[in-house]
Amino acid sequence: MITSETFRETFLKPMATTLKDIARKLNISVSTVSYALNGGSRSVPEKVRLAVIEVAREMNYRPNRIARSMITGRNHVIGVVPPEMYDNLFLSPYLQLALNGITNEAGHLHQDLLIYTRYSETDGHAIADTILDGRVDGVIFISPHVGQTAVRRISDFGLPCVTVGGVDQEGIPSFRVDNSGGISMLVRHLLDLGHRRIAHIAGLLNMDDAIVRLQAYQNAMLQAGLPAPDEYVVKGRFDIAGGFRAMNELLDLPTPPTAVCCANDEMAIGAIQAVLARGLKVPDDMSVTGFDMTPNSEVVPPGITTVRQPITELAGEAMQAVFQMIEGKECPPSKVLPTELIVRGSTSRPKEDLS
């Protein structure tokens, strides 16, 4: 049974204030009110604009975002596509730092974010169609996979698009670090300590960062005149479990390495756990390096020797770039930021023989 109180609350609610109500009270056109509140191609005298804002406040006006976007052609929403979707993705320190940089800059620019969580790397057309449905003004891809068709399709459609990590593509600004230089510094550090049997735990090799880091390791060993046998390169997944599994494979070799250069800090943590589980010590029995300088790399004993890449800064610059493109300004150039070697307790001179 509907009570009189329920009837009043349900059917006799005061209608929300509209632009027409404001226009009627000020005796001006609806379009003038709209331009005063939402902006647009036509300017409004400052005196009129202030009067509209004051009346809108008095009448408790709440803007209709859909209507406003139809007028301005803007949603003030930026899409963000993570590398791939899997359980606990947002526990990844790298992704947390990237999203932090994007979110900080989005707040400064008064933009909202829409994170695409139904992303599938195998169906670039599907994710492109979803992104192109009109909800976002531009999109940021974080470490897109090699050959990802969605990035090119979105750019060709005309939607502003940038990448954090990944390779250069014509008309698509990328913001990344000097991966090759960073790995070269790590290998040189291990060589200077006296290591000659240096292995590499690679990341996902469908991602450009992982490929470049693997190639940099191989080139650094070649330049030093040292072998980098196939069994010294083990694939991981950029996560702790992958580093643990890969290190166990290396420790099972007839001649295991004395040092391991990991493609990121999470795999370095897993590698250290595997060494300790064997009753060995880091760095006495095995030196381990990471890459990224995520917060965990400092607190995990004994502290991981790593390379700092400015993830938060990179992501913030990517956000600025896509906003600049949305504003109709010139497409910004791609940027490569330098890395920095951070030496901690996970590396030392090798023992003569680990086996």
The pLDDT value recorded for residue 229 is 93
Domain ranges of the chain: 4-72, 77-177+310-336, 179-309
* pLDDT value, residue 6: 52
- Report the share of the chain in percent with pLDDT over 90: 56
Which is more confidently placed, 267 or 56?
267
Which stretch of 68-77, 172-181, 257-266, 337-346 has the lowest confidence by average pLDDT? 68-77
The confidence score (pLDDT) of residue 352 equals: 67
The answer to whether 168 and 174 are in contact (CB under 8 A) is yes
Across the chain, mean pLDDT equals 87
Q: What is the model's pLDDT at position 168?
A: 72
When pLDDT is averaged across residues 245-260 and rounded to a whole number, the result is 97
pLDDT at residue 355, as a whole number: 41
pLDDT at 8: 46
Q: Do domains 77-177+310-336 and 179-309 have the same CATH topology?
A: yes
Choice among 8-17, 144-153, 161-170, 210-219 with the minimum mean pLDDT: 8-17
pLDDT digit string, tens, across residues 168-219: 777 899 999 999 999 999 999 999 999 999 999 999 898 889 999 999 999 9
> Which residue, chain included where needed, has tokens 């469908």?
206
Residue 303 pLDDT level (bands cut at 50, 70, 90):
very high
The CATH fold assigned to 77-177+310-336 is: Rossmann fold (3.40.50)
- Domain over 4-72 is classified CATH 1.10.260.40: yes
- Name the architecture of domain 179-309: 3-Layer(aba) Sandwich (3.40)
Question: Between 79 and 58, where is the model more confident?
Answer: 79
HEC states along the chain? Answer: CCCHHHHHHHHCCCCCCCHHHHHHHHCCCHHHHHHHHHCCCCCCCHHHHHHHHHHHHHCCCCCCHHHHHHHHCCCCEEEEECCCCCCCHHHCHHHHHHHHHHHHHHHHCCCEEEECCCCCCCCHHHHHHHHCCCCCCEEEEECCECCCHHHHHHHHHCCCEEEECCCCECCECEEEECHHHHHHHHHHHHHHHCCCCEEEEECCCCEHHHHHHHHHHHHHHHHCCCCCCHHHEEECCCCHHHHHHHHHHHHCCCCCCCEEEECCHHHHHHHHHHHHHCCCCCCCCCEEECCECCCHHHHCCCCCEEEECCHHHHHHHHHHHHHHHHCCCCCCCCEEECCEEECCCCCCCCCCCCC
- pLDDT level of residue 21 (50, 70, 90 thresholds): confident
pLDDT band at 10 (very low <50, low <70, confident <90, very high): very low
Between 173 and 60, where is the model more confident?
173
Res 34: pLDDT: 78
Mean pLDDT of 267-290: 97
Average the pLDDT over 234-248 and give the result: 94
Q: pLDDT at residue 30 above 90?
A: no
